Amino acid sequence: MHKTGDVLRSSMRAIPWRGAIQKKLIYAGLLGGLLFSSTNCFAANYSCGTASANHCYGQTSWSEQPQYFGAYVDLQEPSMNCPSNCGGFIDNEMWLIDANSQACKANSFGQCWVEAGYIAQAGEGTQFFWADSRPQNSSTFNLHIVGNADPVSTTDHFMIVKDGRVSPEVFQIFIYNTSESTLYHGTSVASNGNPMSANAIHIGQELAGTQGGSAGNAEYTRNIWAVQALGPEYVFWYQREKDEGSVRSDNPPFASWTINPSTPPPPEGGEFTTHCCG
């Protein structure tokens, strides 16, 4: 077992936030430098449903543990575009998923999740977001666009963790870069007080629509998962992923491992890549 405190000793204080959401600071230590990619991917036609259904994926997923209390990934930002006629969106992200709990199986999606990443929607620039599907039957899905994405080739850090310091438990979401010039925080909470119990983690790219979307190579490193809920010591205790999981590549999006997670660090949890669409 490790703790992010070894490189990410964390504390929080309230600082100004845009809109009505509170922004909080999570101090970050040595998290590695910028990752660069010279690969460009050109737009193409594809059949990936609409903005709301039947999407295509380039991702890997893990479901070996009885419960994942959280997930974390370092995600390098490539060029990304979805023109006004693309019919949907393209994103790179991480998901924490509960497909087992009764309240989650009973919602309109048949599962709960919390996700975070960056997205290019039709005719819009690339933006940071987080979203959730909650264990409830009203206001089930909630999307939060929190700000413009960082410049291409920036490595951003995405953390989702169950917060055991409050009752009922909630999930905290953090999006930030190493310098903390980008810094966003959100909280996923179910109105019925019944938090999800995650049994899977996914990382990768989601594609919706029919044409024109494009994204260069994205690199997913430091793939780690929380072994317990966040406690009063405010430390993300974790293990690294040690296998490739179950890879799905709908071509597009294209997805593969470039460094097997079984390889001793660095990087922790290997290196996974996605790109789209030609």
Residue 101 belongs to domain with CATH number: 2.60.120
Single pTM value for the model: 0.85
Beta strands 23-24 and 80-81 are unpaired
DSSP class per residue in 172-211: EEEEEETTSSSEEEEEE--TTS------EEEEEEEEEEEE
Q: Which residue type is seen at 228?
A: Q
Peptide bond into 261 cis (omega under 30): no
Could you tell me if 173 and 130 are in contact, meaning their C-beta atoms sit under 8 angstroms apart? yes
Could you tell me if 210 and 45 are in contact, meaning their C-beta atoms sit under 8 angstroms apart? yes
Give the Cα separation of 96 and 275 in Å (integer). 21
Number of domains in the chain: 1
pLDDT in tens for each of the 278 residues of the chain?
544 443 343 333 222 222 222 223 333 322 232 222 334 445 579 999 999 999 999 999 999 999 999 999 999 999 999 999 999 999 999 999 999 999 999 999 999 999 999 999 999 999 999 999 999 888 899 999 999 999 999 999 999 999 999 998 999 999 999 999 999 999 999 887 778 999 999 999 999 999 999 999 999 999 999 999 999 999 999 999 999 999 999 999 999 999 999 999 999 999 999 999 87
Give the Cα separation of 44 and 277 in Å (integer). 6
Domain around 215: 2-14+23-276
